[in-house]
Amino acid sequence: MKKQTKVIELLTATPVLTEVTVKGWVRTFRNNQFIALNDGSTINNIQCVVDFENTPEETLKRITTGAAVSLTGTLAESKGAGQKVEVQVSKIEILGDSDAEKYPMQPKKHSLEFLRENAHLRVRTNAFGAIMRVRSTLSFAVHQYFQERGFFYVNTPIITGSDAEGAGEMFKVTALPFDNTPRTEEGKINYKEDFFGKETNLTVSGQLEAETYAMALGQVYTFGPTFRAENSNTSRHLAEFWMIEPEVAFNELADNMDLAEDFIKYVIKYTVDKHEDDLKFLEQRLLDEEKNKPQAERSEMSLLEKLNFVLENNFKRVTYTEAIDILRNSKPNKNKKFQYLIEEWGADLQSEHERFLVEKHFKCPVILYDYPAKIKAFYMRLNDNTEPGKETVRAMDILFPGIGEIVGGSQREERHDVLVEKMKALGIDEEELWWYLDTRRFGTAVHSGFGLGFERLVLFVTGMTNIRDVIPFPRTPQNAEF
């Protein structure tokens, strides 16, 4: 006999009256008779029926919400409604008690804020169990998508000595003490005495390193943690989050868009196919949550409708210039409802503009591309033949309803002279990026890539609205508990 059988297996097994052992945690115990047992393998519980007349009172009392138990019995067809099979328990072993008075995860509705404060226990709830199973499968789908297509996974460094990318504020990594910090003769901090012999930070992106690998292995991707020391206390920002960054030699911007769209659809489809029960639960959760909102703020589609909509429709591809025209002539711009009014070409798009385009105008995921060079990073490929003063780069951002920017990418500037000129203009140290420039010195080629913020994808797929609820232990300003 197997030491134990998983709930997910039992629920789909034919009840042939064999003896089984199931181990898990009590979700509820009704009428001194019906244990709803969960072991994390699925959102569904298995009903275990206790022969209460022949079970010591002492044992029955210990079957409380949260208790760990091992139950042995016969898998049989269920007489009750709501489940096909049940375990008719012949042996109960209490593995670990859970004091009903003290256990924080009672079978009732807890606020998301309370659950965040109990991030070590919230995964024992239906909602967070579902979210974290979905997150896990999305991660695997990412790897499978790339590996099946001949991409190689690259672990770019987390601690980095180069801070030239300029994607955001960085955390310092150091082994130097704050007291009696070693100093140079000029009185500056002497980083030569630090662990790495130089100033180091937590990475904001693995892109530049990934590019060096793409120029050798052809197609690569990263999937690792990245960091921002920005004091953004919003529902869309984390100080520590996971990012996926593919980089492909010989890909132009259009190939990059094709890759991103195909990739996103693949990982969503893969996950929808595997997590019907989890997603149905999350769909209902969202419906319940939105009941308290005014009609206008509720989602037009249910969660699964929204996911299927993304799978079935092409992302709308729009140039920045077209988007500016649409925005300039839009009602909220004319009625001065935008906080930042769009007046002329070159303006940076704010979240309100992106949301208007995606949620009101196009009502589908949008790929914006060919942005003004001035508002984008130094490594993006300058378009040929643009008007002076209206230079654009081969950048693309993918905007999702409810989420905003989920992907940022570009064709990279492959021309050594153009790249150096751009770096000079922006005051980026050529010497520090000698290795990056080497890729343009030796065998340079057109190449493109993008970054996808993994938690934003998990938000979209789970229908959650706060990014702190889709990563196990969120790191945000003033919070590094656990």
Helices 303-312, 253-274: axis angle to 10 degrees equals: 140
Output the smallest distance, CB 151 to a copy of itself, in A.
8
Q: What are phi and psi of 397, to 5 degrees?
A: -120, 140
When asked if residue 232 is in the footprint of a copy of itself (CB under 8 A), the reply is no
Q: Considering only residues 4-33, where is the footprint of a copy of itself by CB under 8 A?
A: 4, 6, 8, 23-26
Closer to a copy of itself by Cβ: residue 213 or 371: 213
When asked if residue 150 is in the footprint of a copy of itself (CB under 8 A), the reply is yes
Cα distance between residue 97 and residue 29, in whole Å: 14
When asked if residue 278 is in the footprint of a copy of itself (CB under 8 A), the reply is no
Q: Which of 369, 364, 373 is nearest to 409 (CA)?
A: 369
Closer to a copy of itself by Cβ: residue 239 or 377: 239
Among 181, 284, 302, 383, binds a copy of itself (CB under 8 A): 181
When asked if residue 225 is in the footprint of a copy of itself (CB under 8 A), the reply is yes
Q: How many CB atoms are closer than 10 A to CB 456?
A: 22
When asked if residue 3 is in the footprint of a copy of itself (CB under 8 A), the reply is yes
Closer to a copy of itself by Cβ: residue 133 or 422: 133
Helices 253-274, 276-290: axis angle to 10 degrees equals: 100
Q: Considering only residues 360-379, where is the footprint of a copy of itself by CB under 8 A?
A: none
When asked if residue 176 is in the footprint of a copy of itself (CB under 8 A), the reply is yes
Q: Which of 121, 194, 115, 203 is nearest to 158 (CA)?
A: 203
Closer to a copy of itself by Cβ: residue 113 or 344: 113
Is the distance from CB of 246 to CB of 263 less than 8 angstroms? yes
Give the dihedral sign, CA 2/3/6/12: positive
Q: Considering only residues 52-81, where is the footprint of a copy of itself by CB under 8 A?
A: 66-68, 70
Output the smallest distance, CB 456 to a copy of itself, in A.
14
Output the smallest distance, CB 363 to a copy of itself, in A.
32
Q: Considering only residues 102-121, where is the footprint of a copy of itself by CB under 8 A?
A: 102-105, 119-121
Output the smallest distance, CB 393 to a copy of itself, in A.
20
What lies within 8 Å, CB to CB, of 420 at 6+ separation is 430, 437
Closer to a copy of itself by Cβ: residue 105 or 307: 105
Can you tell me which residue has the tokens 């010497």?
A: 431
Is the distance from CB of 281 to CB of 130 less than 8 angstroms? yes
Residue 135, amino acid: R
